[in-house]
């Protein structure tokens, strides 16, 4: 597997002020600050989730529209990226070893994260310190091993799902269309393998798929360029909807979760980076654009295009491998949602209901977190993972309802850690296998924003150079 050819950078002739203003990282941080300010102003004007105002409705529309744009491009991106990456792996002798190493490191990091979650749950005792007024409620969705296995079987070629629910007026129904991402991955993998087996007859299809992938990537770079605008709307809407008062009764639980997330992101990941002889500073500067977007969008899938971009361009992971590992990680590598959170939450529920957990049950928490994180891909995120954990342990599922009030606040941090890990593992595996472009990994994050996207060879050039806002592409 060869690394991507590097294009010549455009000379940076900007002044210091313009350089700062055009920095993608600065734009995201500025949007966060402005969004928080707008949200606080909205709350002062009386806006709440139940009583929206013109300001809150505007912020919500901006944020939700941006996430919708990101998600709209995810399905064609995953399909074409996986098919193209499988076709590229035919040139690699150690393709099976790469896949095995990737899955192994997914499991290793999940194991470390869940141990941290269990320790924090036992030390902080969040369930015993829960505030007054909490009432158990029924979870709106339940995860089971059986649902996970059924989720692997494609219902149709596109992994398309349609759900219908009662509308606001009597006798009316509303339908929504979605995609089961895990099924899309299964379909793409099968198609890619079949194309390889077909040999030369499939060459036109593979060429078309690679061309389509480049077109989709170009559209995605345009969408991600307006990420600061989406960030402004998302964070402003979150402040208005959830505020800070909802943390009051579950403050210790929220603190335990965020301490665990911080330990994984700022202690465990840097140790793994340094252990493999890589620069911690370069890792964070490279992955940070994706982490920022994940925090505000609360969607690993929505952030997938940017995660894959920074993994290739900033961390030096070959495209043929990154386009396989990152989409796989976006559905199965969730140290925040599937390891730290369910561990602490399960212990919280046990403590709240006065149930003493034994060694076997703690061991089950570890097993479910390491093996079962893929169960979140076929349904919906951390809540499903928590119900899967509680049902495996025999704990009351009503406990999930205790935590739903602050779930969006926790989900921001969980998703940021998920995405950081989804970029970390491919970099580690690439380093261990000797295919990491360390010159690209250690390159300075500077240059003209998107300067290498301007020519006809932009997709090839964009994959190689590393200006500071590279994550925005």
| pLDDT, tens only, 454-466 | 443 333 333 333 3
Q: Is pLDDT at 348 greater than 70 in this prediction?
A: yes
Helix axes 227-242, 407-432, angle to 10 degrees: 140
Helix locations, 24-94, DSSP H: 24-44, 54-72, 74-89
Question: Is 6 buried (19+), middle (13-18) or exposed (0-12) by CB count in 10 A?
Answer: middle
Residue 176 three-state SS = strand
Q: Is pLDDT at 252 greater than 60 in this prediction?
A: yes
Q: How far apart are CA 289 and CA 293, in angstroms?
A: 6
What is the residue-averaged pLDDT of the chain?
A: 76
For the segment 210-216, the average pLDDT, to the nearest whole number, is 83
- 370 or 42, which is more confident: 42
Helix locations, 200-299, DSSP H: 203-225, 227-242, 251-263, 269-275, 280-297
Highest mean pLDDT among 287-291, 292-296, 323-327: 287-291
Q: Is pLDDT at 16 greater than 60 in this prediction?
A: yes
Q: Is pLDDT at 469 greater than 70 in this prediction?
A: no
Q: Is pLDDT at 234 greater than 90 in this prediction?
A: no
- 25 or 426, which is more confident: 426
pLDDT at residue 361 in the model: 84
Q: How far apart are CA 219 and CA 212, in angstroms?
A: 11
Name the DSSP letter for residue 49. S
Backbone angles phi, psi at 338, to 5 degrees: -110, 0
Q: Is pLDDT at 139 greater than 50 in this prediction?
A: no
pLDDT at residue 416 in the model: 92
Kind plus residue range of the DSSP H or E element containing 380: none
Condensed to tens digits (0 to 9), the pLDDT of residues 94-113 reads: 777 888 898 899 989 989 99
Dihedral sign, CA of 211, 216, 222, 224?
negative
Condensed to tens digits (0 to 9), the pLDDT of residues 402-456 reads: 776 677 788 889 989 999 999 999 999 999 999 999 999 998 876 443 444 444 3
User: Could you tell me what percent of the chain has a pLDDT over 90?
Assistant: 18
pLDDT at residue 284 in the model: 94
- 1 or 375, which is more confident: 375
Task: Judge whether 91 and 196 are in contact, CB under 8 Å.
Answer: no
For the segment 37-53, the average pLDDT, to the nearest whole number, is 82
Of 145-159, 182-196, 257-271, 348-362, the least confident: 145-159
For the segment 334-343, the average pLDDT, to the nearest whole number, is 84
Residue 169 three-state SS = coil
pLDDT at residue 265 in the model: 95
pLDDT at residue 52 in the model: 81
Q: In sequence order, which residues have a C-beta less than 8 Å from that of residue 156 and are 6 or more positions away?
A: none
Dihedral sign, CA of 299, 304, 307, 311?
positive
Closest-CA residue to 302 (of 227, 392, 251, 213): 227
- 304 or 331, which is more confident: 304
- The reply to whether the predicted model has a pTM over 0.85 is no
pLDDT at residue 175 in the model: 56
pLDDT at residue 207 in the model: 86
Strand partners, 166: 173
For the segment 281-285, the average pLDDT, to the nearest whole number, is 94
């Amino acid at each position: 597997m060869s690394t991507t050819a590097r294009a010549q950078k455009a000379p940076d002739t900007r002044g210091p002020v313009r350089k700062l203003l055009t920095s993608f990282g600065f734009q995201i941080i500025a949007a966060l600050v402005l969004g928080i300010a707008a949200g606080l102003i909205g709350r002062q004007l009386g806006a709440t989730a139940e009583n929206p105002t013109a300001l809150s409705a505007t912020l919500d529309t901006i944020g939700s529209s941006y996430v919708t744009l990101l998600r709209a491009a995810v399905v064609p991106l995953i399909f074409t990226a996986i098919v193209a990456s499988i076709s590229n792996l035919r040139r690699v002798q150690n393709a099976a070893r790469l896949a095995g190493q990737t899955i192994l490191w997914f499991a290793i990091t999940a194991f470390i994260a869940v141990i941290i979650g269990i320790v924090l749950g036992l030390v902080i005792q969040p369930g015993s310190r829960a505030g007054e007024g909490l009432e158990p409620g029924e979870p709106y969705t339940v995860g089971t091993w059986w649902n996970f296995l059924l989720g692997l079987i494609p219902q149709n070629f596109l992994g398309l799902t349609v759900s219908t629910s009662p509308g606001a007026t009597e006798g009316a129904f509303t339908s929504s269309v979605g995609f089961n991402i895990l099924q899309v991955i299964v379909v793409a993998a099968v198609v890619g393998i079949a194309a390889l087996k077909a040999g030369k007859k499939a060459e036109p299809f593979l060429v078309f798929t690679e061309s389509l992938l480049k077109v989709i990537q170009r559209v995605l770079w345009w969408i991600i360029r307006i990420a600061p605008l989406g960030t402004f709307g998302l964070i402003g809407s979150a402040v208005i909807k959830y505020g800070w008062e909802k943390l009051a009764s579950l403050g210790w639980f929220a603190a335990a979760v965020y301490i665990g997330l911080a330990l994984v992101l700022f202690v465990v990941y840097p140790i793994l980076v340094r252990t493999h002889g890589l620069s911690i500073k370069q890792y964070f500067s490279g992955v940070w654009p994706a982490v920022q977007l994940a925090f505000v969008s609360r969607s690993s899938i929505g952030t997938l295009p940017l995660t894959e971009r920074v993994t290739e361009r900033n961390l030096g992971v070959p495209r043929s491998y990154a386009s396989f590992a990152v989409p796989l990680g976006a559905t199965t590598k969730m140290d925040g949602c599937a390891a730290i959170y369910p561990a602490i939450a399960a212990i919280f529920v046990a403590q709240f209901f006065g149930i003493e957990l034994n060694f076997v049950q703690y061991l089950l928490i570890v097993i479910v977190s390491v093996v079962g994180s893929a169960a979140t891909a076929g349904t919906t995120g951390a809540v499903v993972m928590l119900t899967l954990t509680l049902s495996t342990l025999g704990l009351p599922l009503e406990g999930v309802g205790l935590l739903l009030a602050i779930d969006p606040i926790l989900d921001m941090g969980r998703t940021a850690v998920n995405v950081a890990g989804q970029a970390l593992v491919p970099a580690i595996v690439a380093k261990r296998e000797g295919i990491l472009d360390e010159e690209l990994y250690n390159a300075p994050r500077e240059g003209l924003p998107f300067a290498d996207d301007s020519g006809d060879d932009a997709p090839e050039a964009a994959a190689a150079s590393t200006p500071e806002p590279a994550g925005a592409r």
